[in-house]
Structure 1
Amino acid sequence: MTGDRSIVHKLQKLNLSHKGISSVLLVIQLLRVPFLTLCHVPLCLLISASFVAMEIFSVIVTPVDLCASLESVIKNRKWQNLIMSHFCHINEWHVYHNLTGFIRHAVWIERTIGWKEMLKVIFILLLRTQALHLILNHIFYVCTGDESYSKDCYIGISGLVFALNVISNMSLAGYWEVPLSNGSILYLSKSFMGWLDLFLVQFPLPTSSFVGHTAGIMAGLSYQGTYLSQYGPVKFTEATEYESEQDTGDS
């Protein structure tokens, strides 16, 4: 997800001299996931493989034409961009960064609830993220009169990644202990990590859409109550299921 169209064109050029490197790094990320888990997440593997293949074979040559913004959707009436914007990325590195985050969270969610329910969760979060992205940009445009908000492009699945980040972090109990310079300790709830990731991503990648990522977090927060009540917390290890199977067998 990035901002102005001119920035998108510049970022596309960064891909030319690094073709293939990010795909190799993405495979390395997948290998870090336990093999048993990968065998039970066909949807995540299909989505990851599809995005990589689309980028390697340049299925979508000009992704900027498919971005979703107030200008493209409302003014130019490109309603199809609301859907097509999720299926394209600016360059191979954009795919890598999005799928790295997607794998980190989506694999364990799908492992917990199954691929059919995971497909439903992804669909709901994509709709909410897209809607909130347009609403937030409209509010900022009306309040500031800044044309950049009407042209702020939604491309890729980074909003979905931030929404999944919220869902998975809400399943973590406890706090992170952050030592301060005065000797005291700051306790941060693990459920707060989605907002921390937002700022950590924004500083090294200022061209990324702050509004789009914020929309993703808000989508996750608006859905986390429904998710947890319907599916329960996300299981992040194979041990929980293995131990339960062992107990069942012993009984």
Structure 2
Amino acid sequence: MQRRQRGVNTGLLLLFAQLYQFGLNNIPPVTLATLALNVYLFLNPLKNLHYVCISVEEGYHRGDWQRLLLSPFHHADDWHLYFNMVSLLWKGSKLEQRLGSVLFALIIAVFSQLIGVVYVLLELILAESMDDPSYRMQCAVGFSGVLFALKVLNNYYYPGGSTNVFGIQVPNKYACWAELVAIHILSPGTSFVGHLSGILVGLLYTHGPLRTILRTAVSLFSNERPARQQRFTYSGHRGPREPSLEEIRRRRLNRF
């Protein structure tokens, strides 16, 4: 698994243009730091993608759990980075404003690791139940699993409305499931199990014990109240636009 070589990273240039239009001073700090980390590791990867992607074989059998830490923050190519980071800009700006920077930082840290664990577990279950060893070798990188989890949170904290999924208006509370299926059908190289892992972790937060655990941790170790509404001033633009499924379909390795 190697990053495709390009003379010009068009996706990276478009990302910088989006960030410039939005204004760095308008991006909440944790969202900005997460964006910066992903861009930095794209430009200066710690290892070849083959050595950072997460799979049952490399993680569970060989015990290379360092991949849990590295895989979410490495991307296959500039377009993979672009679509994920624009989506993060859109979701992170809303959620960090709603939840506060400390809780949002904890969410990013926990989700990025927990999704990898769920991914390995699901792939292991598939390999055993279907007696298909190929599931043990499915190796994925990228931030999309976290973004699917953030989409679940976004729909939880901002309920109502609908999303256009290829001409069909889908209520937002079901949009993540519709997009999971649509992306898998239209972009087979993406990781269905990785995206599903993100949705499950998001539900573990919104309908399980994870939200209480993380909010309690914030209240114990920080003076910032978890429910605090932080406000950022957005001027001179209409905010970032999340990439549509049709755009994602055009530019898609097995990736989160």
Length-normalised TM-score, structure 2: 0.74
2:193 aligned to which of 211, 216, 220: 211
Residues 128-207 of structure 1: pairs in structure 2 closer than 5 A = 128-176=114-162, 188-207=170-189
State the Cα RMSD in Å: 3.1
Q: 1:126 aligns with which of 112, 128, 131?
A: 112
Is 1:21 the counterpart of 2:10? The answer is: yes
2:6 maps to a residue whose letter is L
Q: Is the 8 A contact 2:71 2:142 kept in 1?
A: yes
Distance 2:20 2:182 in 1: 25
Residue from 12, 32, 37 that aligns with 1:50: 37
Structure 1 position 222 matched with structure 2 position 204: yes
Distance 1:235 1:175, change over 3 A: farther
Deviation at 1:235, TM superposition (A): 9.0
Native 8 Å contact 2:100 2:227 kept in 1: no
Does structure 1 retain, via aligned residues, the 8 Å contact 2:145–2:197? yes
Provide the residue aligned with 1:99 in structure 2: 85
Query: For 1:25 and 1:135, how far apart are their aligned partners in 2?
Result: 36
Match of 1:117 among 103, 121, 137: 103
Name the counterpart of 2:220: none
Which aligned pairs between 1:68-87 and structure 2 lie closer than 5 A? 68-87=54-73
* 1:108/1:72 CA distance change after superposition, 3 Å: same
Partner Cα separation in structure 2 for residue 235 and residue 32 of structure 1: 22
Gap change, CA 1:32 and 1:171, over 3 Å in 2: farther
Q: Which runs of 5+ in 1 are unaligned?
A: 1-7, 179-185, 240-251
Change over 3 Å in CA distance of 1:44–1:133 after alignment to 2:
same
Which whole-Å CA distance do the structure 2 matches of 1:34 and 1:222 have between them? 33
Cα distance in 1 between the residues matched to 2:35 and 2:111: 17
Give the alignment's TM-score, normalised by structure 1. Answer: 0.75
Distance 2:144 2:162 in 1: 24
Shift of 1:220: 0.4
Secondary structure of the equivalent of 1:206?
A: coil
**Cα deviation digits, residues 190-224 of structure 1 (max 9, x gap):** 11111122123223321111001100011101111
- CA shift, 1:72, in A, is 0.3
CA distance in 1, matches of 2:100, 2:10: 31
Are the aligned partners of 1:68 and 1:81 in contact in 2 as well (CA < 8 Å)?
yes
For 2:155, give the aligned amino acid: N
Give 1 or 2 for the bigger CA radius of gyration.
1
More helix by share: 1
What SS does structure 1 have at the residue aligned with 2:162? strand
Deviation at 1:35, TM superposition (A): 6.8
| Partners of 2:39 and 2:24 in 1: CA distance | 20
Quick one: percent identity of the two aligned structures? 24
| Cα displacement (A) at 1:138 | 1.0
Deviations 1:38-60 (A, max 9, x none): 2xx1121122123223323x433
